[in-house]
Homo-oligomer: A and B are copies of this chain.
Amino acid sequence: MSLRQVGICLVGVGRAGAVHARNYAFNLRDTRIVAIVDANLNAAKACAGETGAEFYYSDHRDALRVKEVDAVCISTPTFTHARIAIDAAESGKHVFCEKPMALTLKEADEMISAAKRQHVILQIGFMRRFSPEFQAAKRQLAEGAIGKLTLIKSTGRGPGLPPTWACDPRTSIGMLAEVNSHDFDTARWLMESEVERLYAEAEALAVPELKERYEGFYDRSVVVLRFRNKALGVIDGACPAKYGYDARVEILGTEGVMLVGERNNQAVIICTKQRGAYSSSFPSWRDRFREGYLEEDRHFADCIANDKEPLASGEDGRAVLELTLAATKSFKTGEPITLPLE
């Protein structure tokens, strides 16, 4: 109780940034926000006002000079992650970085080395690992609830169009990275094996007109996985899915099947003649993984305070990035891809 609060510098106050801001400022007692950074200085200033942060900047390097900053939480567009993370590590600050970790394996490797060299924590934003239902699933799988695992199917869908930078292949790897990073991570984490081969199909079916503007754009994808332990997997992604945020996982074992996250928002069901039996739409990722985000932020503070290894490490981030790049290569070439990428 009497320990000093961890001082957080938040970089990027967009959608995910706002979630972390609220957690660090209001929902966790052992953290406080010291500085806010955003390319849009007004946004940084407003967020500083709301969260009680003393400092705000448009350039992360200014914030890294603030002594009270112990750690940096990066929620900026993907193409800026590596630069900020490496600068932070080299300033001796701990690093939390949203997924996808980076645009290239080279960037990811440099982020990992910088953190290692400076002995700082590097945690990647795989919040599902901290969500109660995924924790329960992991525990029950370990207890052998469905026998040996043979197949995993993971679905990740977002309701709306991604931001412009995420549609543009120059600044983002696309939906497989922005949305399905979580599914790749879930598959590796629950199956406890690495992927040795994958094959992907992708297409622009919901907003085909974006393909004209951004070569290589797609909004629907399917990836088949073969793990080293011979188990199989399927990931499917869709964005925009329009009907809501949807994250479901099914694992088939030799003794049974497990469904995680099915129909998770059915606490209030209404039935009328006009609409049939219905419940509110699938919640946004904010609501769906509210506890996951909170626990992931708590975990980051705990790793810093107690010098622990984070549950979602830089190596995990790199492995997911590699799968994303391999899947992208597969649907572009029409060929199955063998891992690791050389």
Contacts and interface: CB of A to CB of B under 8 A. Distances in A.
B258 A252 contact: no
Interface string A242-279: 11101000001011111111111111111111011111
Contact of A281 (B259, B269, B271, B334): B271
Given A150-B238, A222-B232, A224-B199, A243 B272 contact: yes
26 contacts: A1-B52, A136-B267, A137-B268, A140-B268, A145-B270, A145-B272, A150-B205, A153-B236, A197-B334, A201-B224, A202-B232, A203-B226, A205-B254, A220-B252, A234-B234, A242-B273, A258-B270, A258-B271, A259-B268, A260-B267, A262-B269, A263-B277, A275-B278, A277-B282, A278-B279, A335-B335
Contact of A201 (B226, B259, B261): B226
Contacts of A157: 252
Contact of A151 (B133, B153, B236, B269): B236
Given A148-B205, A226-B201, A336-B334, A273 B243 contact: yes
A29 interface: yes
A170 interface: no
- The 10 A-B pairs of least Cβ separation, nearest first, read A256-B272, A278-B278, A133-B267, A1-B52, A150-B205, A276-B281, A243-B256, A259-B269, A276-B278, A199-B199
Contacts of A2: 52
A211 to B, nearest CB: 11
Given A205-B231, A232-B222, A257 B270 contact: yes
A281 B270 contact: no
Nearest to A265: B277
A270 B114 CA distance: 43
A280 interface: yes
A241 interface: yes
A271 B244 contact: yes
Contacts of A203: 150, 226, 230-232
A132 interface: yes
B256 A270 contact: yes
Interface residues of A, number: 79
A281 to B, nearest CB: 4
Contacts of A244: 271, 273
Contacts of A200: 224
A310 interface: no
A162 interface: no
Nearest to A250: B155
Contacts of A269: 258-259, 262-263
Interface string A214-245: 00000011101110001111101010011110
A159 interface: yes
A206 B252 CA distance: 10
